[in-house]
Chains A and B, each alone.
Chain A
Amino acid sequence: MLNVSHLSFARGNKLVLKDINLSIGNSEVLVIKGSNGIGKSTFLSCMAGFLEPLEGRVEYFSKSIDPTISAKNFIFVGEENFAYEDLSILDNIYYWLSLNSVTPNQKSIHKSIEYLFGRIDMNKKFHQLSYGQKRKMRMLLLLLIDKPVWILDDPFNGLDKETISKLIKIISMKKALDGIIIMATHMTPHIKDIKVFELS
């Protein structure tokens, strides 16, 4: 259960988020909508614990979010790529898995890459990938690291129709497995019983 109560956030003198209240339970998907620049990414950053709110709090099972809680329970997939340009797909995966203290499982790594990319040379350097493939790389984290809460910033941006439907499938599966998914997006994905929160 994730609770946001009276959350406000200011950047300099500008109030970006004002008195936001919401709660999201297990097996729920929350879609945050709003026009560009309204503060969707800022809101997600506050939820993940990257930004300190001006007022209010974010709680995970009645405990205020701190670095330990977010590291243990959250996966954050932001808008931009975090992979290293000069490392191959496989090396990038190993690097980020080791940083998350996950022992690499060859079989699941190969399966996940094949599921998202189809046939691809896994030793291809990240900078050699196309824009769409680079976007897919971010999604590999969701398949390879097991944490209960997913925070996704514009996850469908830059993906083709086929990958979008695959991602929706992955999100639906996570939902069925008691996961909590929060995402900021302009589209409404075809997932059963989603909550929509409009930032205005």
Chain B
Amino acid sequence: MLMKSTQSFILFCFIIIASSIFGLALRYIQVDNKISMTVIWILLFLTVITKVEKVYLEDFSDPKIQQYMMSPFALELIVLTKNLMIYLNLVIFFLITSPIIFLTLSIDFDIFWQINILAALSLLSLVFISSITASIANSKSNRLAITSVVTLPLFIPILIFSIGSMDMDLGNINSYLFFLAYFLLNLAFSPLLTSFALKKLSM
């Protein structure tokens, strides 16, 4: 349901091809860690958007939402669980693919864990914001699909702080506080907004 083998393979190929293109483009430029993190963040962003939209298109189709709404569990709780499962899927997926990204982008392996921790933290918020985007994009009215771009500015702070965090000491817990705070904010609003959009726009 969440990660079909074909889908995973397509995503894997996408990451390899995209990172190779970036790697080739940046070959003759002096690239510092911040630029590497930006490239990785863009790859993460595109992967999350694709993945979440695919899962939502399939798992929250009209007849399935009807059954979810007939369930004693609140739709918000179902959305939250799905998002957390997507997150776990993507974290593991990124952890597996990251060595290849490091190789294609010629990133120093000294910062392997630093980038993986930042990616895992960014992914939390990315998945929850993407779920709002996907629920609006999957609405019955095609006119609303373009409206889903209103959520795009919500992604920007994560990008800024991910890049900013490259200078911070990741042994210090304060470096993670933004990600935690932003995730908690998303945790509070995203399942509510997502399930509201699913109920009102997809039925």
Give A contacts to B, CB under 8 Å: 45, 48-51, 67, 70-72, 74-76, 78-82, 84, 86-87, 96, 99-101
Q: How far is the CA of A71 from the CA of B68 in the complex (A)?
A: 9
Contact of A99 among B1, B62, B68 (CB under 8 A): B68
On chain A, the residues within 8 Å of B67 by CB distance are 76, 82, 96, 99
Interface of A is mostly: loop
- Starting from the known contacts A75-B70, A80-B63, A100-B70, 20 additional A-B residue pairs (CB-CB under 8 Å) come to A48-B66, A50-B66, A50-B199, A50-B203, A51-B203, A67-B69, A70-B70, A71-B70, A71-B71, A71-B72, A72-B72, A74-B70, A78-B66, A80-B61, A82-B63, A84-B1, A86-B1, A86-B4, A87-B1, A100-B71
**Does B73 touch A at the CB level, under 8 Å?**
yes
Return the chain A residue nearest B202 by Cβ. A50
Return the chain A residue nearest B67 by Cβ. A82
Q: How far is the CB of A17 from chain B (nearest CB, A)?
A: 15
Q: How far is the CB of B74 from chain A (nearest CB, A)?
A: 8
Q: How far is the CA of A67 from the CA of B72 in the complex (A)?
A: 8
**Does B64 touch A at the CB level, under 8 Å?**
yes
Q: How far is the CB of B81 from chain A (nearest CB, A)?
A: 11
Q: Which 9 residue pairs spanning A and B have beta carbons closest together?
A: A82-B63, A80-B63, A99-B71, A82-B67, A71-B72, A78-B63, A82-B64, A50-B203, A101-B72
Contact indicator B69/A50 (Cβ below 8 Å): yes
Contact indicator A76/B66 (Cβ below 8 Å): yes
On chain A, the residues within 8 Å of B61 by CB distance are 80, 82
On chain A, the residues within 8 Å of B74 by CB distance are 67
Q: How far is the CA of A42 from the CA of B68 in the complex (A)?
A: 18
Most buried by B among A50, A72, A84, A86: A50
Contacts A80-B63, A82-B67, A99-B73 hold; do A45 and B203 have CB atoms under 8 A apart?
A: yes
On chain A, the residues within 8 Å of B78 by CB distance are 99
Q: How far is the CA of A137 from the CA of B191 in the complex (A)?
A: 30
Q: How far is the CA of A100 from the CA of B73 in the complex (A)?
A: 8
From 34 to 65 in chain B, residues with beta carbon under 8 angstroms from any chain A beta carbon are: 61-64
On chain A, the residues within 8 Å of B72 by CB distance are 71-72, 100-101
Return the chain B residue nearest A51 by Cβ. B203
Q: How far is the CA of A1 from the CA of B5 in the complex (A)?
A: 48
Return the chain B residue nearest A147 by Cβ. B70
Contacts A45-B203, A51-B203, A86-B1 hold; do A70 and B69 have CB atoms under 8 A apart?
A: yes
From 114 to 160 in chain B, residues with beta carbon under 8 angstroms from any chain A beta carbon are: none
Interface mask (B60-104 → A, CB under 8 Å = 1, otherwise 0): 011110111111111000100000000000000000000000000
